[in-house]
A and B are shown apart, each in its own frame.
Chain A
Amino acid sequence: MPVSEGDTGRAPVLRARGVTVELGGRTVLSGVDLTLCPGEVIAVLGANGSGKSTLVRASIGLVARRSGTVELFGTPLEHFRERARLGYVPQRSNESTGVPATVREVVLSGRLARRRFVGPASRADRAASERAIELVGLSDLVRRPVTELSGGQHQRTLIARALASEPELLVMDEPLAGVDAGSAAQLALTVGDLVAAGTAVLLVEHDLGPLTPVVDRAVVVDHGRVVFDGPAADAPAEHVHHHPHAGEPARLEPLPGEGVL
Protein backbone atom coordinates (compact mmCIF):
# COMPACT_ATOMS: atom_id res chain seq x y z
CA MET A 1 0.00 0.00 0.00
CA PRO A 2 1.62 3.29 -1.04
CA VAL A 3 2.14 5.78 1.71
CA SER A 4 1.69 9.24 0.29
CA GLU A 5 2.24 11.10 3.54
CA GLY A 6 5.77 11.30 4.88
CA ASP A 7 8.83 9.94 3.16
CA THR A 8 9.87 7.27 5.63
CA GLY A 9 8.32 4.41 3.71
CA ARG A 10 7.07 2.97 6.99
CA ALA A 11 3.36 2.47 7.62
CA PRO A 12 1.67 5.51 9.15
CA VAL A 13 1.28 5.37 12.92
CA LEU A 14 -2.39 6.17 12.51
CA ARG A 15 -4.52 6.16 9.41
CA ALA A 16 -8.21 6.97 9.61
CA ARG A 17 -10.37 7.00 6.47
CA GLY A 18 -13.95 8.22 6.16
CA VAL A 19 -14.66 8.00 9.87
CA THR A 20 -18.30 8.67 10.67
CA VAL A 21 -19.57 8.58 14.25
CA GLU A 22 -23.08 8.93 15.59
CA LEU A 23 -23.72 9.47 19.27
CA GLY A 24 -27.25 9.41 20.60
CA GLY A 25 -28.68 9.70 17.08
CA ARG A 26 -26.63 12.79 16.23
CA THR A 27 -23.87 12.70 13.62
CA VAL A 28 -20.77 13.92 15.44
CA LEU A 29 -18.21 13.11 12.74
CA SER A 30 -18.87 12.67 9.05
CA GLY A 31 -16.29 11.11 6.77
CA VAL A 32 -13.14 12.36 8.47
CA ASP A 33 -9.65 11.38 7.27
CA LEU A 34 -6.56 11.64 9.44
CA THR A 35 -3.04 10.33 8.89
CA LEU A 36 -0.20 10.52 11.38
CA CYS A 37 3.33 9.54 10.36
CA PRO A 38 6.06 8.21 12.67
CA GLY A 39 7.53 11.00 14.78
CA GLU A 40 4.88 13.50 13.70
CA VAL A 41 2.95 15.76 16.11
CA ILE A 42 -0.61 16.64 15.16
CA ALA A 43 -2.94 18.86 17.16
CA VAL A 44 -6.65 18.44 16.57
CA LEU A 45 -8.28 21.79 17.27
CA GLY A 46 -11.86 22.91 17.35
CA ALA A 47 -14.58 24.49 19.45
CA ASN A 48 -16.52 22.60 22.12
CA GLY A 49 -18.84 20.13 20.46
CA SER A 50 -16.99 20.28 17.12
CA GLY A 51 -16.18 16.57 17.28
CA LYS A 52 -12.42 16.94 17.83
CA SER A 53 -12.38 14.78 20.95
CA THR A 54 -14.64 12.19 19.31
CA LEU A 55 -12.26 11.99 16.34
CA VAL A 56 -9.40 11.06 18.60
CA ARG A 57 -11.48 8.70 20.75
CA ALA A 58 -12.78 6.94 17.61
CA SER A 59 -9.20 6.61 16.36
CA ILE A 60 -8.22 4.50 19.37
CA GLY A 61 -11.43 2.51 19.68
CA LEU A 62 -13.09 4.31 22.59
CA VAL A 63 -16.02 5.36 20.41
CA ALA A 64 -17.72 3.04 17.94
CA ARG A 65 -17.61 4.14 14.30
CA ARG A 66 -20.69 4.00 12.11
CA SER A 67 -18.46 3.70 9.07
CA GLY A 68 -14.89 4.24 8.01
CA THR A 69 -11.63 2.47 8.78
CA VAL A 70 -8.87 3.05 11.31
CA GLU A 71 -5.43 1.48 11.15
CA LEU A 72 -2.82 1.68 13.89
CA PHE A 73 0.74 0.90 12.78
CA GLY A 74 -0.69 -0.63 9.61
CA THR A 75 -3.07 -2.99 11.47
CA PRO A 76 -6.85 -2.50 11.43
CA LEU A 77 -7.94 -1.24 14.86
CA GLU A 78 -10.15 -4.30 15.38
CA HIS A 79 -7.11 -6.58 15.13
CA PHE A 80 -4.58 -4.29 16.83
CA ARG A 81 -3.06 -6.18 19.75
CA GLU A 82 0.28 -4.45 20.31
CA ARG A 83 -1.29 -2.18 22.86
CA ALA A 84 2.00 -1.15 24.47
CA ARG A 85 2.83 0.87 21.34
CA LEU A 86 -0.10 3.15 22.13
CA GLY A 87 -0.08 5.52 25.12
CA TYR A 88 -3.32 7.30 26.06
CA VAL A 89 -3.72 10.34 28.28
CA PRO A 90 -7.45 10.85 28.90
CA GLN A 91 -9.12 14.02 30.09
CA ARG A 92 -8.41 14.29 33.78
CA SER A 93 -12.06 14.56 34.78
CA ASN A 94 -12.75 10.95 33.76
CA GLU A 95 -10.65 9.38 36.48
CA SER A 96 -12.43 7.78 39.38
CA THR A 97 -11.20 8.63 42.85
CA GLY A 98 -13.21 6.23 45.00
CA VAL A 99 -10.12 4.82 46.71
CA PRO A 100 -6.78 6.64 47.12
CA ALA A 101 -3.95 5.61 44.81
CA THR A 102 -0.39 6.92 44.74
CA VAL A 103 1.42 8.38 41.75
CA ARG A 104 3.54 5.21 41.60
CA GLU A 105 0.49 2.93 41.61
CA VAL A 106 -1.28 4.88 38.89
CA VAL A 107 1.83 5.03 36.68
CA LEU A 108 2.52 1.31 37.16
CA SER A 109 -0.95 0.56 35.81
CA GLY A 110 0.37 1.94 32.52
CA ARG A 111 2.47 -1.23 32.21
CA LEU A 112 -0.57 -3.51 31.84
CA ALA A 113 -0.03 -4.00 28.12
CA ARG A 114 3.52 -5.21 28.77
CA ARG A 115 3.48 -6.97 32.13
CA ARG A 116 2.83 -10.66 32.77
CA PHE A 117 -0.84 -11.59 32.94
CA VAL A 118 -0.56 -12.87 36.50
CA GLY A 119 2.02 -12.14 39.15
CA PRO A 120 3.76 -9.11 40.59
CA ALA A 121 5.27 -6.40 38.43
CA SER A 122 8.71 -7.34 37.14
CA ARG A 123 11.87 -5.33 37.73
CA ALA A 124 11.57 -4.03 34.16
CA ASP A 125 8.00 -2.87 34.85
CA ARG A 126 9.08 -0.97 37.94
CA ALA A 127 12.11 0.53 36.24
CA ALA A 128 10.03 1.74 33.28
CA SER A 129 7.49 3.33 35.65
CA GLU A 130 10.21 5.11 37.59
CA ARG A 131 11.75 6.36 34.33
CA ALA A 132 8.40 7.68 33.18
CA ILE A 133 7.87 9.43 36.53
CA GLU A 134 11.33 10.96 36.30
CA LEU A 135 10.66 12.12 32.77
CA VAL A 136 7.66 14.16 33.90
CA GLY A 137 9.54 15.43 36.96
CA LEU A 138 7.46 13.82 39.70
CA SER A 139 10.14 11.65 41.31
CA ASP A 140 9.75 13.25 44.73
CA LEU A 141 5.98 12.74 44.75
CA VAL A 142 5.81 8.99 43.96
CA ARG A 143 4.10 8.15 47.26
CA ARG A 144 1.63 11.02 47.10
CA PRO A 145 -2.05 10.12 46.51
CA VAL A 146 -3.09 11.52 43.13
CA THR A 147 -6.05 13.29 44.72
CA GLU A 148 -3.63 15.52 46.63
CA LEU A 149 -1.86 16.71 43.47
CA SER A 150 -2.35 20.00 41.66
CA GLY A 151 -3.96 19.94 38.23
CA GLY A 152 -0.60 20.13 36.50
CA GLN A 153 0.96 17.41 38.67
CA HIS A 154 -2.03 15.13 38.11
CA GLN A 155 -1.80 15.68 34.37
CA ARG A 156 1.89 14.80 34.46
CA THR A 157 1.02 11.61 36.38
CA LEU A 158 -1.36 10.56 33.62
CA ILE A 159 1.28 11.33 30.99
CA ALA A 160 3.78 9.21 32.95
CA ARG A 161 1.23 6.38 33.04
CA ALA A 162 0.95 6.56 29.25
CA LEU A 163 4.75 6.68 28.90
CA ALA A 164 5.28 3.69 31.20
CA SER A 165 4.49 1.29 28.34
CA GLU A 166 7.17 3.03 26.22
CA PRO A 167 4.71 3.90 23.43
CA GLU A 168 5.47 4.98 19.87
CA LEU A 169 2.22 6.95 19.68
CA LEU A 170 1.04 9.20 22.48
CA VAL A 171 -2.61 10.30 22.34
CA MET A 172 -3.55 13.17 24.64
CA ASP A 173 -7.04 14.54 25.20
CA GLU A 174 -6.83 18.19 26.29
CA PRO A 175 -3.57 17.85 28.23
CA LEU A 176 -3.58 21.54 29.20
CA ALA A 177 -7.14 21.68 30.62
CA GLY A 178 -7.05 22.88 34.22
CA VAL A 179 -3.26 23.24 34.19
CA ASP A 180 -1.67 26.51 35.32
CA ALA A 181 0.66 28.44 33.02
CA GLY A 182 3.88 27.29 34.72
CA SER A 183 2.92 23.62 34.55
CA ALA A 184 1.73 24.05 30.97
CA ALA A 185 5.19 25.33 29.99
CA GLN A 186 6.81 22.34 31.71
CA LEU A 187 4.39 19.95 30.01
CA ALA A 188 5.34 21.46 26.68
CA LEU A 189 9.01 20.79 27.47
CA THR A 190 8.23 17.15 28.36
CA VAL A 191 6.30 16.67 25.12
CA GLY A 192 9.16 18.32 23.23
CA ASP A 193 11.62 15.81 24.72
CA LEU A 194 9.38 12.89 23.71
CA VAL A 195 9.03 14.16 20.19
CA ALA A 196 12.79 14.60 19.96
CA ALA A 197 13.10 10.93 20.99
CA GLY A 198 10.86 9.93 18.09
CA THR A 199 7.41 9.54 19.69
CA ALA A 200 4.48 10.49 17.49
CA VAL A 201 1.86 12.61 19.26
CA LEU A 202 -1.83 13.14 18.56
CA LEU A 203 -3.37 15.70 20.85
CA VAL A 204 -6.71 17.43 21.21
CA GLU A 205 -6.72 20.97 22.53
CA HIS A 206 -8.70 24.20 22.58
CA ASP A 207 -5.70 26.42 22.57
CA LEU A 208 -2.17 25.19 21.93
CA GLY A 209 -0.46 27.89 24.02
CA PRO A 210 3.06 26.75 24.94
CA LEU A 211 2.61 23.55 22.89
CA THR A 212 2.57 25.53 19.61
CA PRO A 213 6.30 25.12 18.83
CA VAL A 214 6.25 21.30 19.14
CA VAL A 215 3.22 20.82 16.86
CA ASP A 216 3.98 19.95 13.23
CA ARG A 217 0.45 20.08 11.88
CA ALA A 218 -2.89 21.35 13.04
CA VAL A 219 -6.17 19.74 12.04
CA VAL A 220 -9.21 21.90 12.72
CA VAL A 221 -12.53 20.13 13.14
CA ASP A 222 -15.82 21.98 12.83
CA HIS A 223 -19.29 20.45 12.84
CA GLY A 224 -17.79 16.99 12.48
CA ARG A 225 -15.67 17.80 9.42
CA VAL A 226 -12.03 18.69 8.90
CA VAL A 227 -11.97 22.32 7.77
CA PHE A 228 -8.21 22.88 7.94
CA ASP A 229 -5.14 20.66 7.78
CA GLY A 230 -1.77 22.40 7.70
CA PRO A 231 0.88 24.24 9.72
CA ALA A 232 -0.31 25.12 13.22
CA ALA A 233 0.56 28.79 12.73
CA ASP A 234 -1.87 29.04 9.79
CA ALA A 235 -4.83 27.43 11.59
CA PRO A 236 -7.91 29.65 11.35
CA ALA A 237 -8.32 30.99 14.86
CA GLU A 238 -12.04 31.70 14.67
CA HIS A 239 -12.87 27.99 14.53
CA VAL A 240 -10.71 27.27 17.50
CA HIS A 241 -11.60 29.96 19.98
CA HIS A 242 -15.12 31.18 19.45
CA HIS A 243 -17.78 29.63 17.39
CA PRO A 244 -21.21 31.19 17.03
CA HIS A 245 -22.99 27.84 16.71
CA ALA A 246 -21.09 25.94 19.32
CA GLY A 247 -22.81 25.53 22.64
CA GLU A 248 -21.41 23.73 25.61
CA PRO A 249 -19.97 20.30 24.88
CA ALA A 250 -22.68 17.75 24.27
CA ARG A 251 -21.10 15.36 26.73
CA LEU A 252 -17.84 14.69 28.41
CA GLU A 253 -18.77 11.22 29.62
CA PRO A 254 -18.90 8.40 27.11
CA LEU A 255 -22.29 6.90 26.38
CA PRO A 256 -22.84 3.44 27.81
CA GLY A 257 -21.73 0.82 25.35
CA GLU A 258 -19.53 3.22 23.43
CA GLY A 259 -16.47 1.02 23.55
CA VAL A 260 -15.96 -1.32 20.65
CA LEU A 261 -13.13 -3.44 21.95
Chain B
Amino acid sequence: MLELLDYPFMRLALAAAVVTGITAPAIGTFLVQRRLALLGDGIGHVALTGVALGLLTGTAPLLTAVVAATLGALAIELLRAYARTSGDVALAMLFYGGLAGGVMLINLAGDSAAKLNSYLFGSIVTVDASELTVVAILGALVLTVVAAATPQLFAVCQDEDHARVSGVPVRLYGILIAVLAAITITVAMRTVGLLLVSALMVVPVAAAQQVARSFRGTHLLAMALGLFAAVTGVVTSFEIDTQPGPTIVLTALASFAVLAAARGALALTRRRKRRPLELG
Protein backbone atom coordinates (compact mmCIF):
# COMPACT_ATOMS: atom_id res chain seq x y z
CA MET B 1 0.00 0.00 0.00
CA LEU B 2 2.92 2.32 0.72
CA GLU B 3 3.87 2.11 -2.93
CA LEU B 4 1.58 5.06 -3.55
CA LEU B 5 4.15 7.22 -1.79
CA ASP B 6 6.50 6.45 -4.68
CA TYR B 7 4.38 8.64 -6.90
CA PRO B 8 5.23 12.32 -6.39
CA PHE B 9 1.66 13.36 -7.26
CA MET B 10 0.34 11.07 -4.52
CA ARG B 11 2.67 12.63 -1.97
CA LEU B 12 1.35 16.08 -2.92
CA ALA B 13 -2.20 14.75 -2.85
CA LEU B 14 -1.78 13.28 0.63
CA ALA B 15 -0.24 16.50 1.94
CA ALA B 16 -3.18 18.48 0.55
CA ALA B 17 -5.56 15.94 2.11
CA VAL B 18 -3.94 16.35 5.53
CA VAL B 19 -4.33 20.15 5.42
CA THR B 20 -7.92 19.96 4.20
CA GLY B 21 -8.95 17.21 6.58
CA ILE B 22 -7.89 19.16 9.67
CA THR B 23 -8.91 22.64 8.56
CA ALA B 24 -12.43 21.98 7.29
CA PRO B 25 -13.90 20.62 10.58
CA ALA B 26 -11.91 23.20 12.61
CA ILE B 27 -14.09 25.98 11.24
CA GLY B 28 -17.03 23.67 10.43
CA THR B 29 -17.63 23.07 14.15
CA PHE B 30 -18.53 26.74 14.59
CA LEU B 31 -20.82 26.66 11.56
CA VAL B 32 -22.67 23.67 13.01
CA GLN B 33 -22.83 25.33 16.44
CA ARG B 34 -24.25 28.44 14.80
CA ARG B 35 -26.74 26.35 12.84
CA LEU B 36 -25.25 27.49 9.54
CA ALA B 37 -24.21 24.05 8.32
CA LEU B 38 -25.13 24.93 4.74
CA LEU B 39 -23.16 28.18 4.68
CA GLY B 40 -20.16 26.32 3.26
CA ASP B 41 -22.25 25.14 0.34
CA GLY B 42 -23.37 28.65 -0.51
CA ILE B 43 -19.83 29.99 -0.38
CA GLY B 44 -18.56 27.01 -2.41
CA HIS B 45 -20.90 27.86 -5.24
CA VAL B 46 -19.70 31.47 -5.24
CA ALA B 47 -16.10 30.26 -5.26
CA LEU B 48 -16.86 28.54 -8.57
CA THR B 49 -17.49 31.95 -10.11
CA GLY B 50 -14.11 32.98 -8.72
CA VAL B 51 -12.46 29.97 -10.34
CA ALA B 52 -14.10 30.81 -13.65
CA LEU B 53 -12.90 34.40 -13.44
CA GLY B 54 -9.40 33.10 -12.85
CA LEU B 55 -9.57 30.85 -15.90
CA LEU B 56 -11.06 33.64 -17.99
CA THR B 57 -8.40 36.17 -17.04
CA GLY B 58 -5.48 33.78 -16.86
CA THR B 59 -4.99 34.35 -13.10
CA ALA B 60 -4.41 31.49 -10.66
CA PRO B 61 -7.94 30.13 -10.00
CA LEU B 62 -7.07 29.41 -6.38
CA LEU B 63 -6.48 33.10 -5.70
CA THR B 64 -9.53 34.41 -7.55
CA ALA B 65 -11.57 31.76 -5.75
CA VAL B 66 -10.37 33.02 -2.35
CA VAL B 67 -11.38 36.56 -3.28
CA ALA B 68 -14.79 35.56 -4.67
CA ALA B 69 -15.56 33.21 -1.77
CA THR B 70 -14.63 35.88 0.78
CA LEU B 71 -16.82 38.46 -0.94
CA GLY B 72 -19.64 35.91 -1.09
CA ALA B 73 -19.21 35.15 2.62
CA LEU B 74 -19.36 38.87 3.46
CA ALA B 75 -22.48 39.22 1.32
CA ILE B 76 -24.19 36.38 3.19
CA GLU B 77 -23.29 37.83 6.60
CA LEU B 78 -24.48 41.30 5.62
CA LEU B 79 -27.70 39.95 4.13
CA ARG B 80 -28.29 37.99 7.33
CA ALA B 81 -27.63 41.03 9.50
CA TYR B 82 -29.26 43.89 7.64
CA ALA B 83 -31.60 42.74 4.90
CA ARG B 84 -35.16 41.66 5.39
CA THR B 85 -34.27 38.51 3.51
CA SER B 86 -34.06 35.48 5.75
CA GLY B 87 -30.77 33.63 5.95
CA ASP B 88 -31.85 30.64 3.89
CA VAL B 89 -33.19 32.73 1.01
CA ALA B 90 -29.97 34.75 0.96
CA LEU B 91 -28.03 31.47 0.84
CA ALA B 92 -30.22 30.09 -1.95
CA MET B 93 -29.64 33.14 -4.12
CA LEU B 94 -25.89 32.83 -3.71
CA PHE B 95 -26.06 29.10 -4.52
CA TYR B 96 -27.74 29.71 -7.85
CA GLY B 97 -25.91 32.89 -8.79
CA GLY B 98 -22.54 31.37 -7.99
CA LEU B 99 -23.14 28.11 -9.81
CA ALA B 100 -24.73 29.67 -12.90
CA GLY B 101 -22.10 32.40 -13.06
CA GLY B 102 -19.28 29.92 -12.69
CA VAL B 103 -20.50 27.52 -15.37
CA MET B 104 -21.24 30.32 -17.80
CA LEU B 105 -17.87 31.99 -17.34
CA ILE B 106 -16.03 28.69 -17.70
CA ASN B 107 -17.87 28.20 -21.00
CA LEU B 108 -16.86 31.68 -22.08
CA ALA B 109 -13.26 30.94 -21.16
CA GLY B 110 -13.46 28.07 -23.63
CA ASP B 111 -12.56 25.44 -21.06
CA SER B 112 -13.89 21.93 -21.24
CA ALA B 113 -16.41 20.15 -19.08
CA ALA B 114 -13.53 18.14 -17.63
CA LYS B 115 -11.98 21.34 -16.28
CA LEU B 116 -15.29 22.32 -14.68
CA ASN B 117 -15.59 18.83 -13.26
CA SER B 118 -12.18 19.05 -11.63
CA TYR B 119 -13.29 22.07 -9.59
CA LEU B 120 -16.77 20.77 -8.82
CA PHE B 121 -15.61 17.38 -7.55
CA GLY B 122 -11.93 18.01 -6.90
CA SER B 123 -8.88 16.56 -8.59
CA ILE B 124 -6.43 16.12 -5.80
CA VAL B 125 -3.92 14.13 -7.86
CA THR B 126 -3.31 17.11 -10.17
CA VAL B 127 -2.27 19.38 -7.28
CA ASP B 128 1.17 20.80 -8.03
CA ALA B 129 3.81 22.03 -5.60
CA SER B 130 2.94 25.72 -5.91
CA GLU B 131 -0.75 25.01 -5.30
CA LEU B 132 0.14 22.89 -2.28
CA THR B 133 2.12 25.85 -0.90
CA VAL B 134 -0.91 28.13 -1.19
CA VAL B 135 -3.15 25.44 0.35
CA ALA B 136 -0.74 24.93 3.26
CA ILE B 137 -0.39 28.67 3.96
CA LEU B 138 -4.15 29.24 3.87
CA GLY B 139 -4.78 26.17 6.03
CA ALA B 140 -2.23 27.30 8.61
CA LEU B 141 -3.81 30.77 8.64
CA VAL B 142 -7.29 29.36 9.33
CA LEU B 143 -6.05 27.03 12.07
CA THR B 144 -4.06 29.80 13.78
CA VAL B 145 -7.00 32.21 13.84
CA VAL B 146 -9.41 29.49 15.02
CA ALA B 147 -7.04 28.45 17.81
CA ALA B 148 -6.54 32.05 18.96
CA ALA B 149 -10.18 33.12 18.78
CA THR B 150 -11.91 29.97 20.01
CA PRO B 151 -13.27 31.50 23.28
CA GLN B 152 -14.85 34.40 21.40
CA LEU B 153 -16.09 32.25 18.52
CA PHE B 154 -17.59 29.77 20.99
CA ALA B 155 -19.39 32.55 22.87
CA VAL B 156 -20.75 34.15 19.70
CA CYS B 157 -21.98 30.84 18.28
CA GLN B 158 -23.39 29.60 21.60
CA ASP B 159 -25.36 32.67 22.60
CA GLU B 160 -25.16 35.81 20.52
CA ASP B 161 -27.03 38.02 23.00
CA HIS B 162 -24.86 37.03 25.91
CA ALA B 163 -21.70 37.56 23.86
CA ARG B 164 -22.91 41.01 22.84
CA VAL B 165 -23.64 42.00 26.44
CA SER B 166 -20.15 40.74 27.36
CA GLY B 167 -18.75 43.32 24.95
CA VAL B 168 -17.81 40.94 22.13
CA PRO B 169 -18.21 42.59 18.71
CA VAL B 170 -20.63 39.92 17.55
CA ARG B 171 -21.05 41.09 13.98
CA LEU B 172 -17.30 41.25 13.46
CA TYR B 173 -16.90 37.68 14.67
CA GLY B 174 -19.79 36.58 12.45
CA ILE B 175 -17.90 38.02 9.50
CA LEU B 176 -14.68 36.39 10.70
CA ILE B 177 -16.38 32.98 10.75
CA ALA B 178 -17.75 33.48 7.25
CA VAL B 179 -14.37 34.62 5.91
CA LEU B 180 -12.56 31.71 7.55
CA ALA B 181 -15.14 29.37 6.00
CA ALA B 182 -14.50 30.97 2.60
CA ILE B 183 -10.75 30.48 2.88
CA THR B 184 -11.25 26.88 4.04
CA ILE B 185 -13.42 26.21 1.04
CA THR B 186 -10.71 27.28 -1.35
CA VAL B 187 -8.28 25.12 0.60
CA ALA B 188 -10.59 22.14 0.20
CA MET B 189 -11.58 22.93 -3.38
CA ARG B 190 -8.80 20.90 -4.98
CA THR B 191 -9.26 18.02 -2.57
CA VAL B 192 -12.99 17.33 -2.43
CA GLY B 193 -14.36 19.84 -4.93
CA LEU B 194 -16.72 22.76 -4.45
CA LEU B 195 -19.91 20.70 -4.47
CA LEU B 196 -18.71 18.39 -1.68
CA VAL B 197 -16.62 20.86 0.28
CA SER B 198 -19.29 21.50 2.86
CA ALA B 199 -19.50 17.78 3.65
CA LEU B 200 -15.98 17.81 5.04
CA MET B 201 -16.88 20.83 7.19
CA VAL B 202 -20.05 19.30 8.59
CA VAL B 203 -19.98 15.49 8.51
CA PRO B 204 -16.93 15.00 10.80
CA VAL B 205 -18.57 17.37 13.30
CA ALA B 206 -21.82 15.43 13.20
CA ALA B 207 -19.83 12.20 13.64
CA ALA B 208 -17.83 13.59 16.58
CA GLN B 209 -21.04 14.72 18.29
CA GLN B 210 -22.19 11.12 18.48
CA VAL B 211 -19.62 10.35 21.15
CA ALA B 212 -18.20 13.66 22.43
CA ARG B 213 -19.94 15.44 25.29
CA SER B 214 -18.03 18.71 25.41
CA PHE B 215 -17.42 21.42 22.84
CA ARG B 216 -13.66 20.99 23.01
CA GLY B 217 -14.01 17.22 22.65
CA THR B 218 -16.28 17.62 19.63
CA HIS B 219 -13.95 20.17 18.05
CA LEU B 220 -10.79 18.04 18.42
CA LEU B 221 -12.44 14.75 17.50
CA ALA B 222 -14.01 16.35 14.42
CA MET B 223 -10.57 17.46 13.24
CA ALA B 224 -9.18 13.98 13.85
CA LEU B 225 -12.06 12.40 11.94
CA GLY B 226 -11.65 14.91 9.11
CA LEU B 227 -7.98 14.02 8.87
CA PHE B 228 -8.81 10.31 8.93
CA ALA B 229 -11.48 10.66 6.23
CA ALA B 230 -9.27 12.77 3.95
CA VAL B 231 -6.23 10.49 4.14
CA THR B 232 -8.22 7.23 4.02
CA GLY B 233 -10.27 8.61 1.13
CA VAL B 234 -7.22 9.51 -0.93
CA VAL B 235 -5.55 6.13 -0.29
CA THR B 236 -8.75 4.20 -1.04
CA SER B 237 -9.39 6.16 -4.22
CA PHE B 238 -5.87 5.27 -5.38
CA GLU B 239 -6.36 1.57 -4.58
CA ILE B 240 -9.80 1.10 -6.11
CA ASP B 241 -9.43 3.78 -8.79
CA THR B 242 -12.27 6.13 -7.84
CA GLN B 243 -12.47 9.92 -7.66
CA PRO B 244 -10.87 11.11 -4.39
CA GLY B 245 -13.47 13.78 -3.49
CA PRO B 246 -16.52 11.51 -3.28
CA THR B 247 -14.41 8.76 -1.70
CA ILE B 248 -13.34 11.14 1.10
CA VAL B 249 -16.92 12.25 1.71
CA LEU B 250 -18.21 8.67 1.81
CA THR B 251 -15.44 7.75 4.28
CA ALA B 252 -16.55 10.64 6.50
CA LEU B 253 -20.18 9.48 6.26
CA ALA B 254 -19.09 5.93 7.11
CA SER B 255 -17.33 7.20 10.25
CA PHE B 256 -20.56 8.95 11.17
CA ALA B 257 -22.54 5.73 10.71
CA VAL B 258 -20.08 3.70 12.81
CA LEU B 259 -20.04 6.24 15.66
CA ALA B 260 -23.82 6.62 15.60
CA ALA B 261 -24.19 2.84 15.80
CA ALA B 262 -21.62 2.67 18.61
CA ARG B 263 -23.51 5.30 20.51
CA GLY B 264 -26.77 3.40 20.05
CA ALA B 265 -25.19 0.18 21.29
CA LEU B 266 -23.67 1.98 24.27
CA ALA B 267 -27.01 3.52 25.23
CA LEU B 268 -28.63 0.09 25.01
CA THR B 269 -26.09 -1.61 27.31
CA ARG B 270 -26.33 1.28 29.77
CA ARG B 271 -30.08 0.88 29.92
CA ARG B 272 -29.71 -2.85 30.51
CA LYS B 273 -27.22 -2.24 33.31
CA ARG B 274 -29.66 0.06 35.01
CA ARG B 275 -32.29 -2.70 35.05
CA PRO B 276 -30.21 -5.79 35.77
CA LEU B 277 -33.23 -7.87 36.78
CA GLU B 278 -34.61 -7.78 33.27
CA LEU B 279 -31.59 -9.56 31.83
CA GLY B 280 -32.97 -12.88 33.11
User: Which residues of A are at the interface with B, using a C-beta cutoff of 8 A?
Assistant: 60-62, 81, 83, 86, 88, 90, 94-96, 98-102, 105-106, 108-110, 112-113, 115, 118, 121, 143-145, 158, 161-162, 165, 171, 254, 256-257, 259, 261
Contacts and interface: CB of A to CB of B under 8 A. Distances in A.
Contact of A113 (B149, B167, B216): B167
The 4 closest A-B pairs by CB, nearest first: A83-B167, A88-B165, A99-B33, A101-B215
A88 B205 contact: no
Contacts of A99: 29, 32-33, 157, 205, 209, 215, 218-219
B148 interface: yes
A60 B167 CA distance: 11
A102 B82 contact: no
Contacts of B270: none
Interface stretch (B55-63, B168-176, B191-199, B244-252): B168-176
B107 to A, nearest CB: 37
Interface string B70-99: 000000000011111000000000000000
Interface of B is mostly: helix
14 contacts: A83-B167, A88-B161, A88-B162, A96-B157, A99-B157, A99-B205, A100-B212, A100-B215, A101-B158, A108-B151, A109-B155, A112-B152, A171-B165, A261-B167
Contact of B161 (A62, A121, A144): A62
B159 A257 contact: no
Contacts, number: 110
B33 A112 contact: no
B169 A143 contact: no
Given A121-B151, A259-B164, A100 B213 contact: yes
A109 B154 contact: yes
B82 to A, nearest CB: 5
Given A62-B161, A101-B214, A112-B168, A96 B34 contact: yes
B166 A165 contact: yes
B165 A86 contact: yes
Contacts of A161: 162
Nearest to A116: B151
Given A94-B159, A96-B35, A62 B214 contact: no
Contacts of A162: 162
Given A100-B215, A113-B167, 12 more contacts: A94-B161, A96-B159, A99-B32, A100-B209, A101-B154, A102-B214, A106-B158, A109-B159, A112-B168, A121-B151, A145-B213, A259-B164
B224 interface: no
Contact of B81 (A108, A121, A145, A256): A256
Contacts of A259: 164, 170-171
Contacts of B205: 99
A4 B204 CA distance: 59
A144 B159 CA distance: 18
Contacts of B148: 118
A113 B157 CA distance: 16
Given A99-B205, A105-B154, A118-B148, A112 B163 contact: yes
Given A112-B152, A256-B80, A256-B82, A98 B33 contact: yes
A248 B280 CA distance: 53
A261 B164 contact: yes
Contacts of B149: 118
Nearest to A83: B167
Interface in B135-190: 148-149, 151-152, 154-155, 157-171
**Most chain A beta-carbon neighbours within 10 Å: one of B152, B157, B164:** B164
Interface in B207-250: 209, 212-216, 218-219
Contacts of B216: 105
Contacts of A113: 166-167
A115 B149 CA distance: 12
B167 A112 contact: yes
A199 B142 CA distance: 41
B163 A145 contact: no
Contact of A98 (B157, B161, B162, B164): B157
A25 to B, nearest CB: 12
Contact of A90 (B159, B214, B215): B159
